[in-house]
Structure 1
């Protein structure tokens, strides 16, 4: 796999994670992750979508060129709208397009998903990314979906499912990002013996580090109705090890401690290495998005 493909897949995976996290809020337990792929040169990313479909696209207006496009089948969009409105998706009558009320709910969800995608892009590029207001519309033909697309860069695509219906996220990637990230990958994937020879510029790159104590799933209606003082039960015991992540990559497990100043800290007990992943001891990368080129 080339350094350029690595850069593309990293950006595509981070963006897809952000969008799926928002979808999980609206439709908990109904989002199945997909595989991030690099779109081959000369291939239009929307060439194989199913129509009619609901499409949302945003363009970056400051910081970098590019954008994101999210495509949901009409059936999937209507199921998402039903969940958001407290209805049972299986009770929906078949229809060729969403109702006005459904489209309003879908538009709100897509606005939040595209904002999350832009924030994820900004985090990976380490520079501010501003977006134009999302354009959410119903497209009935491939020509309608592709007529506004003019982009000289590269793209990634990931297709996942929401309530069993397909949902496609496409990232239009600026060429400047590919050049910068390719140089970084060339440096750290060179032959080395011992410690990875990071350059001074890479050593100064800030990454988000967080500890995960546990997770919980609940309907959105229950979540927004929870009063102050409510307890949320997590899926781990109180004495179980916690996971430590860096920019979506699980890097270690450890124990939560209280510092002398009254704050929290994590004592690292074990590092998750590539060898551990090969032995089945745990993936070093976020496995929500296996990669395929």
Structure 2
């Protein structure tokens, strides 16, 4: 009896075994909470990658500086764990989703990064980071995040196949040593941390962090998966084409009558020979005593098959002439937008002036060839350069 385990020891062994059996899930120190599967982590990374890719384009427009936001790193953490790694004060921007998605998240930036972004937005060189953080800095970063998240919401709308709207972001200072002033996260509650490396010109080489409640993160993943399934279901395969019934061969009787075929283009040689035989066979002097062999049938009118012409109707000479200009260069321009200003307004332009265009953030841009609009598209980032993805070709009748 001395070797038997007590009930307390049995409970300890069972608890130790159950806590280690969590394969393929992101967990932290608190095991009594929701976790994320590896599939959900990958989906959140993809959502963040697409959203921040669009946001980087918007930030470039605001700052006139090259902006790079790298692939995100998705982990689980708690407010207490973050306080051990992030000791100084930060700026938090709260973004609430009001339509399509219901939830909120926080974007965390360093205060010095906020000062640099504000200085660039005001037309400065991005070097004025002395002094305390003011309401001007918070207002500027709120506007920057409003446009960034607004453009990312447009990308998410396309990704989730539904309209997604946000409320104006709210910026405030935050310290992980204290609790979240808006009560979004409890100190010991798990949250999703999505970290992006952000590089702005030669001025910022830092990190922008996105914090989401696990419940809202799972809603994002669910919306993405449901959208993917809906698109798959809507792609109904084309029904198999019903084979055309075989053309019925007209019946021919053993009559000596001959039906003259209508005048048609020259028939093939192999079809002309039987007609000649049929004209000669009945005239051998066997009036009524000769029965026409079964193989001798009345001539069939054969017409060459005519198909609709799908080519451009150009002659060989015209096609040859067009090939001579294939190597001529054309100027391709991507137009972000236009506006009209009075002369007095233009004379007041200076470094840092902001010009409002006639297009909203996230709207398709115009693609012009030699000044003529031919297509619409969306701006994308290719490695370290900007590009445009064509989304719609303008019909020739609308290009005038």
Q: Give the TM-score of the pair, scaled to structure 2.
A: 0.45
Q: Give the equivalent residue in structure 2 for 1:118.
A: 153
Secondary structure of 2:178's counterpart equals helix
Q: Does residue 20 in structure 1 map to residue 156 in structure 2?
A: no
What is the CA–CA distance in structure 2 between the aligned matches of 1:175 and 1:128, rounded to whole Å?
Answer: 18
Larger radius of gyration: 2
Q: Does residue 135 in structure 1 map to residue 173 in structure 2?
A: no
Secondary structure of 1:143's counterpart equals coil
1:106 to 136, 141, 146: 141
Q: What is the CA-CA distance between 1:98 and the residue it aligns to?
A: 1.9
Q: Does residue 199 in structure 1 map to residue 232 in structure 2?
A: yes
Q: Give the equivalent residue in structure 1 for 2:210.
A: 170
Q: What is the CA-CA distance between 1:44 and the residue it aligns to?
A: 5.6
Q: Does residue 261 in structure 1 map to residue 397 in structure 2?
A: yes
Would you say the 8 A contact 1:4–1:181 is kept in 2?
A: no
- 1:134–1:126: structure 2 CA closer, same or farther, 3 Å change rule? same
State the Cα deviation string for residues 32-59 of structure 1 (Å, max 9, x = none): 222212224x556982446322210112
Q: Give the equivalent residue in structure 1 for 2:92.
A: 55
State the Cα deviation string for residues 203-223 of structure 1 (Å, max 9, x = none): 79xxxxxxx95699xx98477
Q: Give the equivalent residue in structure 2 for 1:232.
A: none
What is the CA–CA distance in structure 2 between the aligned matches of 1:18 and 1:215, rounded to whole Å?
Answer: 17
- 1:261–1:149: structure 2 CA closer, same or farther, 3 Å change rule? same
1:34 to 70, 78, 91: 70
What is the CA–CA distance in structure 2 between the aligned matches of 1:112 and 1:253, rounded to whole Å?
Answer: 21
Q: Give the equivalent residue in structure 1 for 2:198.
A: 160
What is the CA–CA distance in structure 2 between the aligned matches of 1:199 and 1:257, rounded to whole Å?
Answer: 25
Q: What is the CA-CA distance between 1:60 and the residue it aligns to?
A: 2.0
Q: Which stretches in structure 2 are left out of the alignment for 5+ residues?
A: 1-36, 238-331, 337-349, 358-368, 383-387
Q: Give the TM-score of the pair, scaled to structure 1.
A: 0.58
Secondary structure of 1:26's counterpart equals helix
Kindly report the root-mean-square deviation, in angstroms, between the aligned alpha carbons of the 2 structures: 4.7
Secondary structure of 2:96's counterpart equals strand
1:68 to 100, 105, 118: 105
What is the CA–CA distance in structure 2 between the aligned matches of 1:220 and 1:169, rounded to whole Å?
Answer: 31
Secondary structure of 2:123's counterpart equals coil
- Aligned residue pairs total 231
Q: What is the CA-CA distance between 1:79 and the residue it aligns to?
A: 0.9
Q: What is the CA-CA distance between 1:72 and the residue it aligns to?
A: 1.8
What is the CA–CA distance in structure 2 between the aligned matches of 1:143 and 1:86, rounded to whole Å?
Answer: 35
Q: What is the CA-CA distance between 1:246 and the residue it aligns to?
A: 8.4
- 1:22–1:44: structure 2 CA closer, same or farther, 3 Å change rule? farther
- 1:257–1:45: structure 2 CA closer, same or farther, 3 Å change rule? farther
